[in-house]
Amino acid sequence: MNRRLYLGRLPPDTRTEDVAKFFEGYGRIVDCRVMTGFGFVEFESSRDAEDAVHNFNGKSFMGANIVVEFAKESRPRRDVYEADRAPRARRPPGYRLVVSGISRDTSWQDLKDFGREAGSVSYADIDRDKAGEGILEYLSRDDAERAVKELDGKDLRGNSVRVTLDPTDRGPGPDNYRRDERRDDRGGREPREDRYARDDR
């Protein structure tokens, strides 16, 4: 049984200790990680994790109604800071696309919804280091190729965007490693997520 939970819609100033305190009394937490806007909590007991999902999903936390749900197993277990320290971290399966020309007010949720028009998105994120650029990953090569054909040149929040295959990405495989800074969309496909991604919304 999954003991790891994805937390979404966290206020940007959320700290790890804030999350730990929020779940206080619902079992022993063995891992708690908070990134910008999302995070992960792992309980020692799967029953405690289940209770936390039941009691806290949609509840108010620091002024925001947050998402609390089981993280998908394919979501990466490393956050962006760990990825910086460990550039050989294994990436989750997925065929990566680069989306450029994104407006400044586009969120990773907007990008994921946009990508889902072509197939099952496993991960979506906005690249903070490259202005106007984002990342989409698909579980299947067919969906990735369909996305390039159908989404390239389409409008995303007022901007016509370019959608291209990432030339550095060789697709999923046990020997494929790369440095990742990803946001988990949510458990289960996520990362992004983490920003890891999941595609059951």
Domain count within the chain = 2
- Contact in structure between 31 and 82 (CB atoms under 8 Å): no
In a shared domain, residues 51 and 111: no
In a shared domain, residues 99 and 188: yes
pLDDT band at 56 (very low <50, low <70, confident <90, very high): very high
In a shared domain, residues 160 and 67: no
> Helix, strand, coil shares of the chain as percentages rounded to 5?
20, 30, 50
**Residue 113 token pair:** 């919804």
- Contact in structure between 98 and 125 (CB atoms under 8 Å): no
pLDDT at 181: 37
**Does residue 63 surpass a pLDDT of 50?**
yes
- Count CA atoms within 13 Å of residue 109 on its CB side: 8
The more confidently predicted of residues 76 and 25 is 25
pLDDT at 105: 83
Share of the chain above pLDDT 70, in %: 72
pLDDT tens, residue by residue, 77-102: 444 444 444 444 444 557 899 999 99
pLDDT tens, residue by residue, 146-184: 999 999 999 998 899 999 988 766 555 443 433 343 444
Q: Looking at residues 52-56, what average pLDDT do you find?
A: 91
- Contact in structure between 82 and 181 (CB atoms under 8 Å): no
pLDDT at 23: 92
Instruction: Give a yes or no: residue 79 inside a domain.
Output: no
CA-wise closest residue to 179 among 85, 103, 105, 100: 85
The residue segments making up the domain with residue 103 are 91-201
The more confidently predicted of residues 182 and 136 is 136
Instruction: Report how far residue 112's alpha carbon sits from residue 90's, in angstroms, rounded to the nearest whole number.
Output: 22
DSSP letter assigned to residue 128: S
In a shared domain, residues 171 and 201: yes
If one counts every other C-beta atom within 10 angstroms of the C-beta of residue 185, the result is 33
pLDDT tens, residue by residue, 102-129: 988 888 888 999 999 998 888 888 877 7
Instruction: Give a yes or no: residue 81 inside a domain.
Output: no
pLDDT at 108: 86
In a shared domain, residues 120 and 174: yes
In a shared domain, residues 135 and 165: yes
Instruction: Give a yes or no: residue 165 inside a domain.
Output: yes
In a shared domain, residues 107 and 199: yes
pLDDT at 65: 92
- Helices 141-151 and 108-115: crossing angle in degrees, nearest 10, is 100
Q: Which of 43, 71, 99 is the last residue of a domain?
A: 71
pLDDT tens, residue by residue, 27-39: 899 989 888 888 8
pLDDT at 78: 43
pLDDT band at 2 (very low <50, low <70, confident <90, very high): confident
Q: Looking at residues 4-8, what average pLDDT do you find?
A: 91
